[in-house]
Chain A
């Protein structure tokens, strides 16, 4: 009798559990069936937009302007993190994803690969904007000639330098045309101002990616892993040289940059346009002390432009209001009103018609120059980079590669093991 009642109660528990499960499934079914009936603008719709940090702030401020145009579409911003932890479970589960999703431009191909059928094909709707965006920015949102997202911001890179410290060390910034000359100037600076380094780097592969992009190198070439390319080797050796010559210090992460800059420990940084905003907010006291020039070239007269970062906005296939969701990203990314707010948050547009607007061409008080037109000139020869679908898997191996090379491991061998480890998790071949 006792045993029977135990069995019975277990059955009760099990049946409750099972009904709970099947209840969930029913909801699933409903969600996917309503997918087809996308809401039109006249209908009331609510859309959720997942974005992070300053990008989320910018989008929050967009809502008022957007609602003047589309009063029936209610927008909610979901604050996500750069690690996508709020978005991916929903994409994997096939339910509960936000309508609009922000990803880093370099990660989006990996998203398309790992979550096929989760993003709305917007090729037809974006045809008319083909020439309005910087050409290289389409690469990361296109797969098999179909467009799955709109490019958002770009990260044209420049050399930010301390005018006063350069003067003190007797360095003429115009004389720095190549990276070799930059390193020489760094040595001079170290002698003139002990304790101050020419530049800094962080525990990631930002500097490497800038160098790689500048040379026209890429992570993937013809569908094969390309991190063992000659360009890659050159990029690694340059960063290693900077470290070995003692002109670049490791500050580990973005939080480490600020004290280094505030305390005059670093005389220049190699970073994209978005760092202008951080400088003017976080090191307010150094206003007027910073100048900006294009980055040095690898050889005299070579390419001085590179891109680092930038993100995209995509519409989720799970969205019940895919049309409304597209209207939102169209408004924020392809209108002057939308891009004006983006610019206030330091997000440099890949949407080029905005470059002619008045806001874009105003003088920046902190730098004492027309900041954005300067950076717009640094987007003309940026080379479109093939990230391939590997970036979510490659982040850690790439970090390890740089760490390894900087600590003195053999470059060729390190590149080879990195390529193999990425190949193991992505199942792509390695370029020989």
Chain B
């Protein structure tokens, strides 16, 4: 055996060890657990019972329904806002771009817990700033936390506030890679800015948009911190999410088997959705 040939694998081995211990092992172990009644420190093989119970649990379907409603509204709003901001940031007439970029990206750097707590204060139904400001325009106070629809709106606002900047920066990177000669020739042909935006910028951004879309979709289905801290899944489970469902069984009831099974169900759902997203957009080919 030539030691020279072994060297690269030795250099790679730290990754493989870490991957085996912290990724592969949990994935396999939780797959096994999902077929057991694992609870506390006891476990028994129960076959598909966990999966049967999850798929017949109304609460699980409700949590899925919630994230899909949030998803359908939030992801398009965020991506449109993101493109808009990215184009603005890329335009020639804006000065001090660095500062604007920083401010737009800043929310991503703020700790999830901190911003959730700030949002609970701003949107507080009785004393919050938001309802006060709305009151100045003679709008009745909104029940951000106790109305099933407005609580979803609140989650959408919070998530959009935090993640728009992240997507803007990625889209901005995409815009800067678009060949400038395309715009020049379009201008020579007499296309105005709007036509340029819809006929050049958007089509050229397709792969990036797909990337942002899939990441945001996965992120929204895995929504946890915001609903958990802002609304605690309430009112009456109107903002409960699949991951909160999983968390409750895994870490509040310590039903590890059931929680593992729901993790696999969620993973399969995410996989299927991503598959269709890629299929429908033809892999983001321009």
List A residues at the B interface (Cβ < 8 Å). Answer: 1-2, 4-6, 8-10, 12-14, 16-17, 20, 83, 85, 88, 91-94, 111, 113-116, 118, 203, 249-253, 255-256, 259-260, 263, 265, 392-393, 395-396, 400, 403-404, 407, 421, 424-425
Which of A9, A113, A396, A404 is B6 in contact with, Cβ under 8 Å? Answer: A9
B13 in the interface (beta carbon within 8 A):
yes
Interchain residue pairs with CB less than 8 A apart (26): A1-B5, A5-B2, A5-B6, A6-B9, A9-B9, A9-B12, A9-B13, A13-B20, A16-B13, A20-B21, A83-B251, A83-B252, A91-B40, A91-B41, A93-B41, A111-B40, A114-B42, A115-B40, A116-B41, A256-B124, A392-B252, A395-B252, A396-B253, A400-B237, A421-B59, A425-B258
Q: How many residues of B contact A (CB 8 A)?
A: 39
8 Å CB contacts to A: which residues of B24-70?
A: 39-42, 53, 57, 59
B41-A94 in contact (CB<8A): yes
Apart from the given pairs A2-B5, A5-B6, 11 other A-B contacts in the complex at a CB distance below 8 Å: A1-B5, A8-B1, A16-B17, A17-B21, A88-B251, A92-B254, A392-B254, A393-B255, A395-B252, A424-B53, A425-B255
Are the CB atoms of B42 and A17 closer together than 8 Å? no
Q: Is B236 an interface residue (CB 8 A)?
A: yes
Q: Cα distance A4–B9 when bound, in Å?
A: 12
Residues from chain B with a CB closer than 8 A to the CB of A4 are 1
A5, B236: Cβ atoms under 8 Å? no
Give the number of A-B contacts (CB < 8 Å).
Answer: 104
Taking a contact as CB atoms closer than 8 A, the residue among A8, A92, A203 that contacts B40 in the complex is: A92
B124 CB contacts on chain A under 8 angstroms: 256, 259
Closest to B143 in A: A250
Residues of A within 8 A of B9 (CB): 5-6, 8-9, 12
Report whether B6 and A8 are in contact in the complex, using a CB–CB cutoff of 8 Å: yes
Q: How far is the CA of A118 from the CA of B42 in the complex (A)?
A: 12
Q: A407 to B16, alpha carbons, bound, how many Å?
A: 52
The answer to whether B127 has its CB under 8 Å from any CB of chain A is yes
Residue of B nearest to A16 (CB): B17
Asked if B163 is an interface residue, CB under 8 A from chain A, the answer is: no
Q: Provide the B193-231 mask, 1 if CB < 8 A to any CB of A, else 0.
A: 000000000000000000000000000000000000000
Contacts of B258 in A (CB 8 A): 425
Partner pick for A116 among B21, B42, B256, CB 8 A cutoff:
B42
